[in-house]
Amino acid sequence: MTEDEVLELRRKLKKWGDWPTALLVPGVMLSLMPLPLVTLYQTHLHPVFLLSPLLLLGLVLFAQKRFMDWERASRRAIAAYYSEQYMGTKWVTPAGAEGVTIGVSTFGGVLKLTFPSGHSEEYEIEILARVKN
């Protein structure tokens, strides 16, 4: 995965954000709106129409699940990219301590460093300086 692909995924995640989750409740409500009509006219309707509220509800929930799967896969791909880029690298903290990266946040903004004493601490990447090998 290249830097451009990671930036594109981050842009898409930011763009779509919480829209599918925010639209879940209105989608469920809209899919259940024909339910009173189905029960009122059940003797006059074709059996397929009796299932329409359940089919619409299933469609809404399926779309939500697909979005959540895409979001999870995108976040994992971004995390794997930054993990591959930063794991095992050496950094110097503002206090002058040198540590090795043992953990990276999802979007690569926070690194977890371990020090020779065995202590580990999380730092934002902006305040760290990378050690030249």
Could you tell me the pTM of the whole model?
Answer: 0.73
12 and 47 assigned to the same domain: yes
User: What's the domain range around 113?
Assistant: 90-130
* pLDDT tens across the length of the chain (133 residues): 888 888 888 888 888 877 877 888 888 888 888 777 777 777 777 777 777 788 888 888 899 899 999 999 999 999 899 999 899 999 999 999 999 999 998 888 899 999 999 999 999 999 999 998 6
DSSP per-residue string spanning the chain: --HHHHHHHHHHHHHHTTHHHHTHHHHHHHHHTTHHHHHHTTTTS-HHHHTHHHHHHHHHHHHHHHHHHHHHHHHHHHHHHHHHHHTT-EEE-TTS-EEEEEEE-TTSSEEEEE-TTS-EEEEEGGG-EEPP-
121 and 81 assigned to the same domain: no
36 and 77 assigned to the same domain: yes
